[in-house]
């Protein structure tokens, strides 16, 4: 049986390291733990409860379904819905379940006011400012319109204002500073017009680590808890979670035998192999599609492809403490690995080091 194993001590280590770093000149900064995408692959309910047990009290999700899953599991802590919506039925469900909503347009506010009025309830909300991401939020170039939209709210209480960075994983990103400056200018206009702001947060995990001067009084931390970031970080975070499965077949292939789809690999000698029931469907060797189309991005991909011709790359699985090379292409449900000269038998455990966020959410998560 397949399972994702998460080491509690390693996760606790990451939580403590992040909490210690979440300080601005000695003052405590509120950590908003982002638990989207099934808790970054760690099981949204189990993961959220573990964070609660370790002192985290504020959470954020990306979808209505995620918010409702947490509430149905009995989680009563603060939850912020990061995606704004002007769909009345969705706003009603969010409000009924005491979810803090995001407001990013006049349409959002109009619907939220209607819902608040009909339910005779004050709705908690954060304002989203689009400082150059092009997704949810009021455009930063129109601060006067933001003021007009929020200065006479009757059924909405603004408890926070935030934005989202697009290039924070780059250490020397001028654009991140530009986005930050745009946000601060909007905040200044709101303050001048006596708009209650609540907490201010701009940092995602990358910005949280790279730009501590931008912590303000709250930060949104997601992938950093998993220890998986697109750069070398300085907090000493530990990778969290591994996919494990049992070896289901062992056999010996003759020399010159093809392995997997497209005959991508042919044995050069008699080869002992193990079959493991994990594949793309489980997140093994999942690769994101190329969705950046600037000429510089195309050039980088071309250079990478050329380098790949001369670089011997391989996927490895650990069995009984030894690395075993995956032969041929990864299948939908299985991989074939070379165990020649190794003492591997049916029932032994194979460990994949794939990122947990890509692992099939239907696979059981086990905290040890």
Q: Which residues are catalytic?
A: 36, 261
Residues 6 or more apart whose CB falls under 8 angstroms from that of 56 comprise 15, 31, 33
List the strands of the sheet with 242-246, edge to edge.
249-253, 271-276, 335-338, 322-327, 316-319, 349-352, 242-246, 3-6, 364-367
Q: 262 exposed, middle or buried (CB, 10 Å; 0-12, 13-18, 19+)? A: exposed
CA dihedral 205, 218, 101, 128 (to 10 degrees): -80
Measured between alpha carbons, how far is 43 from 352 in angstroms, rounded to an integer?
A: 18
Using the CB atoms, write b or e for 127-148: b if 16+ within 10 Å: bbbbbbeeebbbbbeebeebbe
Decide: helix, strand or coil at residue 190.
helix
């Amino acid at each position: 049986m397949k399972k994702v194993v998460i080491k509690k001590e390693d996760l606790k280590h990451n939580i403590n390291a992040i909490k210690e770093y979440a300080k601005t000149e000695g003052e405590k900064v509120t950590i908003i733990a982002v638990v989207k995408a099934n808790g970054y692959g760690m099981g949204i309910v189990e993961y959220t409860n573990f964070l609660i047990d370790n002192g985290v009290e504020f959470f954020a999700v990306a979808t209505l379904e995620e918010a409702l899953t947490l509430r149905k599991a009995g989680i009563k802590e603060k939850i912020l819905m990061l995606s704004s919506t002007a769909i009345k039925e969705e706003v009603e469900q969010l409000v009924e379940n005491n979810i803090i909503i995001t407001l990013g347009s006049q349409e959002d506010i109009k619907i939220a006011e209607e819902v608040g009025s009909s339910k005779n309830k004050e709705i908690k909300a954060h304002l989203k400012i689009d400082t150059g991401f092009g997704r949810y939020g009021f455009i930063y170039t129109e601060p006067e319109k933001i003021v007009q939209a929020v200065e006479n709210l009757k059924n909405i209480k603004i408890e926070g204002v935030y934005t989202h960075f697009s290039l924070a994983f780059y250490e020397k990103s001028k654009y991140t500073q530009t986005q930050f400056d745009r946000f601060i200018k909007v905040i200044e206009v709101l303050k001048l017009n006596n708009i209650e702001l609540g907490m201010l947060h701009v940092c995602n995990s990358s910005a949280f680590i790279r730009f501590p001067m931008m912590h303000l009084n709250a930060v949104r931390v997601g992938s950093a808890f998993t220890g998986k970031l697109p750069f070398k970080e300085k907090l000493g975070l530990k990778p969290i979670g591994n996919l494990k499965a049992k070896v289901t077949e062992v056999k010996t292939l003759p020399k010159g035998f093809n392995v997997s789809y497209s005959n991508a690999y042919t044995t050069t000698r008699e080869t002992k192999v193990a079959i493991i029931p994990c594949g793309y469907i489980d997140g093994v060797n999942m690769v994101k599609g190329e969705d950046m189309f600037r000429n510089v991005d195309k050039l980088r991909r071309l250079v990478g492809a050329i380098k790949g011709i001369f670089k011997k790359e391989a996927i490895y699985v650990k069995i009984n403490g030894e690395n075993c090379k995956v032969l041929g292409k990864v299948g939908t449900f299985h991989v074939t690995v070379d165990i020649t000269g190794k003492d591997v038998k049916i029932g032994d455990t194979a460990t994949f080091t794939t990122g947990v966020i890509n692992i099939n959410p239907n696979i059981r998560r086990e905290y040890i």
